Structure 1
């Protein structure tokens, strides 16, 4: 596991007679607000040390039409937002919010806008090793801080090694169609339940919080879910 990742990522261990409450985090690794939302969720959980939770990272694609090899980032943003002035304003707003959460966004380093389907496959595979939060953190850092090309399979293989996964197995699986349908189905399910933007947090499969809300808001929702939990 990489030393730079969050060891527990806000997850509290449950005692044998105290089942962990699930929190599904619906996000995309190229969404800056999802990275900010991760930090805010971690702060919320740190304020609730007696509530055991299990984070489950669920996929969402902000743009599934991007080709597998990705698109030039500058051209992509110009097509999407129409002007450099608007792009700069958005980046400035996000950068300010990021600094409050300890995230020094480096948008100028990003050269490629990737299709994130393979990133979500990697996140899915990391669940078996209990490394989903570590993998999410690594992918966010690679993209937003290091400007790495997440459309490059070698970037994902290296990310797997960084967090302690079997990177040789990841290298074998990435060129195949393994779990592609699972990711697409999960994204479609998110749309069906009304998720139109990310991050979204589904707490105990009962309550949903949309957006990168403040830690206090997330903590209140988590506490309410725990206190009203059946059984």
Structure 2
């Protein structure tokens, strides 16, 4: 079974959803037969590097809320993360453009280290407060995940895998994906958002037991377009 997961580095529910899906895999009897591929999705392709804006200031400016309201919203997300064993520190969060991180993940895919690097970058961004738009930081994270730091630096410098990122994002548009995380199982079923592990497990069992030749893509408890990190996923505004 192949599971494709569209997500962004800057999406807290992508990290929470990843952990919930992994919890479901622990209870799934055929987890060794599952191939997982992370797909690129940029919530804000125009995001700037080197900005001094905090996470709270960004939320306040974008959604017309106060800084205090933004802190409450972020704290609620952090509590959801803590419930699945993750520690988010939005006080240290460094906003940046995520395309270079996505490019590096495509190198990791070729080297069989995509899952390791995805986890490392998410932890760096949400827990450690590292600048995952900085090439030196990204190259170090690649090394942590078992990749060559020198090769990672070359990829980050020469623009490699930009077309691969764009291909993933074009696929997302073709599938009607407007919010992440978005999980596609064997191109038959789709699950949107950081659903509970029990729901993921139900889908895994159903897809595994079905014969081939079913309808191409069926939504299972999916959600429509959402605002930034509303409910259990992050998405584009209508």
CA contact (8 A) 1:47 1:219 kept: yes
Instruction: State the match for 1:96 in structure 2.
Output: 79
Alignment equivalent of 1:59, drawn from 10, 25, 40? 40
- What secondary structure, in the 3-state scheme, does the structure 2 residue paired with 1:224 have? helix
Aligned mates of 2:23, 2:150 — CA distance in 1: 34
Deviation, structure 1 residue 124? 0.8
For residues 82-231 of structure 1, the aligned pairs below 5 Å read: 82=64, 83-110=66-93, 112-230=94-212
**Which structure 1 segments of 5+ residues have no match?**
1-20
Aligned mates of 1:57, 1:229 — CA distance in 2: 25
Aligned mates of 1:71, 1:126 — CA distance in 2: 29
Alignment equivalent of 1:50, drawn from 30, 55, 60? 30
Worse-superposed segment, 187-196 or 81-90: 81-90
Deviation, structure 1 residue 50? 2.4
Aligned mates of 2:30, 2:13 — CA distance in 1: 27
- What secondary structure, in the 3-state scheme, does the structure 1 residue paired with 2:167 have? helix
- 1:25 paired to 2:8: no
**Alpha-carbon deviations, 1:12-58, whole Å to 9, x = none?**
xxxxxxxxx11001100111000000100001111113242010000
CA contact (8 A) 2:104 2:155 kept: no
Aligned mates of 1:22, 1:181 — CA distance in 2: 22
Aligned mates of 1:72, 1:156 — CA distance in 2: 21
**Which structure 2 segments of 5+ residues have no match?**
214-238
For residues 28-43 of structure 1, the aligned pairs below 5 Å read: 28-43=8-23
* RMSD of equivalent CA atoms: 1.5
Aligned mates of 1:129, 1:214 — CA distance in 2: 31
Alignment CA distance shift 1:54-1:71 (3 Å) = farther
Deviation, structure 1 residue 180? 0.9
Alignment equivalent of 1:81, drawn from 57, 63, 66? 63
Aligned mates of 1:89, 1:134 — CA distance in 2: 31
Count of matched residue pairs = 210
Normalising by the residue count of structure 1, what TM-score does the alignment of the two structures yield?
A: 0.86
**Alpha-carbon deviations, 1:58-101, whole Å to 9, x = none?**
01011011134456234433321332132112112111111110
